[in-house]
Amino acid sequence: MITVQQNRRDFAYDIHSLIRAFYPGVDVAVYQTGEEEPGDYEKKLEVTYSDDAILLVWRTAEGKILGRQERAFSPKTGRAEIKNILKAMLYEILSEETGRKLPWGNLTGIRPVKIPMSLLEQGWKNTQIAEYMRNTYYTSNEKTALAISIANRERAILKDIDYENGYSLYVGIPFCPSVCLYCSFSSGSIAAWENYVDAYLDALCKEIEACAAWSKKKLQTLYIGGGTPTTLDAAQLSRLLQKLEQCFDCGHLREFTVEAGRPDSITREKLAVLKEHPVTRISINPQTMNDQTLEIIGRRHTVRQVTDAFALAREMGFDNINMDLIVGLPGEGYAEVEHTMREVTRLNPDSITVHSLALKRATRLNLFRDEYRETSFVNSSEIMDMTAGYAASVQQFPYYLYRQKNMAGNFENVGYARAGAEGIYNILIMEEKQSILALGAGASTKIVNGEKIERVENVKDIRGYIERIDEMIARKLKAMEMS
């Protein structure tokens, strides 16, 4: 265990995240001076704040000092700059002790592209942004260039998006054919929840009707995700899509995405339903093209089902198909990931999203991690570079990026796409420039007013969503009226 003692509780998340980045898998306990000190620890960070300085002392349990940094600043220094100073100090201490440099430096947030995007909008040049990111956040040359190139592409893609008068709509379907080992989303097995699906759709349609007041604004992107929306049968899927079109004006849509997701949930009948509506983009997500790994992670389908579902979708005229992959799955190294990339690029989808595995607390993979202690979870810059190379070989280049806590190798999730096949909703949810109305269990509405973002959360539990739908509608309508 590593403990962090602060004389005031400040920047705890950033400190915790940065230490975990250097020491993955190690528990980190943050407490305030005067509180009871956690139990046995191997190393300890002492953080002392004053009005014009920060002192960091990094020591062993025996008291040996491993690193020490003290920096002064003006009493008028803003909170954001103080945080940058603190993280730079801590990064230098941890980097020197471990001999490691992190690809994203001391950045701990999930949206690193927002930094170059903001500076581009202020008129900075790419070279100025690169120098600032390397000096302030210690980002590597490769990740700095990646973030800046994506920011420039995002600006071009979003140039016609109306942030003030437009909005996006997310609809969540929290059911899957089975729950994957690594999944932390609020979804459940369709077999366990089959008797609740129609009741869930009743509640969801009620929420759709109630929130249709926002149709006075321009609906620009619509995303149906989950879970796996295509766990609904064809009649249920048709009911949902009809209700959405009845209640919302789809005349201004730039994009309508449905996560078909799991190939074992895709049928000709369901794809035909999607074709009857203005769906422009679907996802068919194998995560890996190795049957052994699919079995380990609980995806009860085969690689053959992936290729068959993809061929069926192409046959039926879907011309914008995304495929999601995960790097760092149990037992997979460079060779296994390269096999996946080779097979996926052979199918020639229109976009590929490469995720780095994130071991979140709520996942079965983490809850039962002792069972997988002997299993390798591998990611590296070589693997990430290889995936980028395969994407480029089919003319797909990075267009959006985000990070998560506890990611394998401290890397990132990157969306690659051909020109014109980018997922606009994916960019909007990362950049937080446009309001997103989110419906369904676990959905999080974001109402953007300038620099201020108001969040309205729906309960994650499926039964709770059904039983408390009126309460959630009332809370959402109140927030919408004030926006």
What is the percent of the chain where pLDDT is above 70? 92
Higher pLDDT, 331 or 377: 331
Phi, psi (degrees; rounded to nearest 5) at 101: -120, 130
Residue 187 has a pLDDT of 56
Residue 299 has a pLDDT of 84
Residue 410 has a pLDDT of 73
Mean pLDDT of 407-411: 71
C-beta neighbour count of 309 within 10 angstroms: 24
Q: With 80 as the cut, is the pLDDT of residue 105 above it?
A: yes
| N- to C-terminal Cα separation, the chain | 45
Residue 182 has a pLDDT of 59
Q: With 70 as the cut, is the pLDDT of residue 127 above it?
A: yes
Tell me how far apart the alpha carbons of residues 450 and 436 are, in angstroms, rounded to a whole number: 14
Residue 374 has a pLDDT of 43
Q: With 90 as the cut, is the pLDDT of residue 294 above it?
A: yes
Q: Which two tokens stand for residue 427?
A: 């960019």
Mean pLDDT of 34-48: 93
Residue 366 pLDDT class (50, 70, 90 cuts): very low
Considering Cα of 369, then 373, then 375, then 380, what sign does the dihedral take? positive
Homologous superfamily assigned to 1-100: B12-dependent dehydatase associated subunit (3.40.50.10150)
Mean pLDDT of 446-473: 94
pLDDT mean across residues, the chain: 91
Q: With 70 as the cut, is the pLDDT of residue 295 above it?
A: yes
Residue 193 has a pLDDT of 77
> Same CATH fold, 166-471 and 1-100?
no
Mean pLDDT of 374-402: 88
Least confident of 104-108, 116-120, 376-380, 442-446: 376-380
Phi, psi (degrees; rounded to nearest 5) at 135: -75, -35
Going by C-alpha positions, the residue among 357, 291, 284 that lies closest to residue 323 is 284
Residue 481 has a pLDDT of 82
Residues in the chain: 483
Region of 105 (left: φ > 0; alpha: ψ -120 to 50; beta: rest) is left
Tell me how far apart the alpha carbons of residues 360 and 375 are, in angstroms, rounded to a whole number: 17
Residue 359 pLDDT class (50, 70, 90 cuts): low
Q: With 90 as the cut, is the pLDDT of residue 297 above it?
A: no
Q: What b/e readout covers 245-254, taking b as 16+ CB neighbours within 10 angstroms?
A: eebbeeeebb
Residue 239 pLDDT class (50, 70, 90 cuts): very high
Region of 371 (left: φ > 0; alpha: ψ -120 to 50; beta: rest) is alpha
Tell me how far apart the alpha carbons of residues 396 and 415 are, in angstroms, rounded to a whole number: 9
Residue 170 has a pLDDT of 98
Least confident of 6-10, 55-59, 280-284: 6-10
Residue 409 pLDDT class (50, 70, 90 cuts): low
Residue 188 has a pLDDT of 63
Residue 215 has a pLDDT of 66
Residue 186 has a pLDDT of 52
Q: Which residues pair with 456 in a beta bridge?
A: 445
Residue 185 has a pLDDT of 53
Residue 184 has a pLDDT of 55
Mean pLDDT of 367-380: 53
Q: Which residues pair with 438 in a beta bridge?
A: 170
pLDDT digits (tens, 9 = 90+) for 46-95: 999 999 999 999 999 999 999 999 999 999 999 999 999 999 999 999 99
Mean pLDDT of 400-407: 84
Residue 25 has a pLDDT of 80
Amino acid at 467: E
Q: With 60 as the cut, is the pLDDT of residue 467 above it?
A: yes
Give the CB-side neighbour count of residue 108, counting CA atoms within 13 A.
20
Tell me how far apart the alpha carbons of residues 323 and 150 are, in angstroms, rounded to a whole number: 19
Amino acid at 49: Y
Q: With 90 as the cut, is the pLDDT of residue 38 above it?
A: no
Considering Cα of 74, then 80, then 82, then 84, what sign does the dihedral take? negative
Q: State the DSSP code for 287.
A: B
Q: Which two tokens stand for residue 214?
A: 């926002």
Residue 471 has a pLDDT of 96
Tell me how far apart the alpha carbons of residues 354 and 350 are, in angstroms, rounded to a whole number: 13
Q: With 60 as the cut, is the pLDDT of residue 283 above it?
A: yes
pLDDT digits (tens, 9 = 90+) for 298-340: 888 999 999 999 999 999 999 999 999 999 898 899 999 999 9
Q: Is 46 helix (H, G, I), strand (E, B) or coil?
A: strand
- Give the Cα-Cα-Cα angle 176, 182, 185 (nearest 5 degrees): 50
Q: Which two tokens stand for residue 405?
A: 């806590």
Q: State the DSSP code for 416.
A: E
pLDDT digits (tens, 9 = 90+) for 156-192: 999 999 999 999 999 999 998 776 665 655 556 766 7
Residue in the structure block whose two tokens are 């220094």: 77
What are the strands, taking DSSP E only, across 28-180? 28-32, 43-49, 53-60, 65-72, 166-173, 175-176
Domain ranges of the chain: 1-100, 101-155, 166-471
Residue 194 has a pLDDT of 82
Q: With 60 as the cut, is the pLDDT of residue 199 above it?
A: yes
What is the percent of the chain where pLDDT is above 90? 81
Tell me: domain 166-471, CATH 3.30.930.10, correct? no
